[in-house]
Structure 1
Amino acid sequence: MTTHHPKVSKIRQRSILLIALLLAVVATACDDFYTDSLPTPDIAQPTPANVREGDPATVIETAAREALAAQLSIAPADSTKILFEHATWTERSPGCYPAPASITGAYLIPGYRLLMQHDGIFYEYNADQGLGTGALCESTFQLIPAEPAYSIVVPQYSNASESTDYDVIHIVRSEEEVAEFNSTFGDIAQIGVDEIEFPEEVLVGGWVEASPNPDVVRAYLSAEGTSIIIEVQIPEEFEEQANDDWSQIWALVDATEPDSIYEFLVVE
């Protein structure tokens, strides 16, 4: 049989009261923490007048074709659908969807993104989930044919010194420029000319902060029209080994102007 000493009982009661008090303080602190957190964004719902019935992909494609036809003076059927996907517009990533004037703070607008193409130019159309309100984005981009140039370049990775200028983009447009490059930058790479069709193609080389074996994905004119972006990516078979070490990358690009500016961009 167990007996309870009066002093022990009082100590236990005090301990229980102390624990309860601590829990109350923690709960109050948590309340204050969440009170000071970011406000819950408003979810904008379309007005009944802007709601259309039907399959979203079909309704939005029709609207985008009509908008493109009006802007480019072409027939609605002349453009090509490339991509249709769900999207959510926010005050931080509004896309080109016009946010409701009634919303002044954080907001979410569930909707859709449609990518169309005409005459080599890509156009984006954004809409909300009501399907009756949408916008054709002003920014466009034009894909420029490009391919990796590994077969004509022999990189000398082991000889790349700490003084290598990673910001320099090398642009080679003729056999004379190939010879000049090989004599000036022999410690970086040796370029052959067998597979380059000058002046139709341009050999563009530089360094990217991605390894191993980055590959050219695509090239396109920037939205501002000021430079040609060459996207590179680590192939799937090397994803587990991917790191931020510098690698040399070369691409053959055509359909560019003599004064074009080139930039390499690593994509996930």
Structure 2
Amino acid sequence: MNLALLHDSDFIDHDRVRLTGRRFAHLAGILKVELGDQIPVGQVNGDIGVGRLERLDNDSAELRVTLDTPPPAPLALSLVLAMPRPKMFRRVLQTVSALGVKDIWVINAYKVEKSFWQTPWLADEALSENLSLGLEQARDTLMPQVHLRKRFKPFVEDELPALLQARPGIVAHPGTSTPCPSHINRPATLCIGPEGGFTAYEVDKLVAAGCQAVHLGSRILRVETAVPVLIGRLYDSCAN
């Protein structure tokens, strides 16, 4: 935890917060903070600053906070991700949150198992927790938005075109003839399939909607590897 992310419910005064649960356990057990210590903090969707530890109990910590620095600029990317395996989904969420992606569309695809959509990691509280872990890692505060779409065709036909207006659309698909562009550093929409990839029909639908099919070379990567590789290739701020 490189930053303690603060929610409105943590504030007990305009400049004082009380932390419990996971964040308290990290401060007390990992960082081993003492009274007077300062730690990086940031308010959800607000500024970043420092918190000075003023009270430490068995189950909570109280800090006086100063928030005066804006968070890092968000990445100008909409990520369209076929629902991964649940354990992988957690890691991918944390990764893309840390990289600065703020617009995430989780969609269905032919090779996505129906059981994946039953995972408790799709609950609002679980989504917020994993996105928060990514923000804390990267010292960011802007909470990403996650949109769940369980029907492929209606999403591609009715909603994807709006995500492609005045911006390139890219679908990562092994075996295509065009290599993935690099250093675009402008708004884009990136589509990534499930383990086993999109079907030919799905790629055709994505291309018809305005995407370009590209590849990363001859190697086939896991989704959790392909996601940061593709984002790092497209945006210099993630590669440096």
What TM-score do you get using the length of structure 2 for normalisation? 0.23
Structure ranking higher in helix proportion: 2
Tell which structure's C-alpha radius of gyration is larger: 1
Structure ranking higher in strand proportion: 1
Greater RCO (CA < 8 Å, at least 6 residues apart): 2
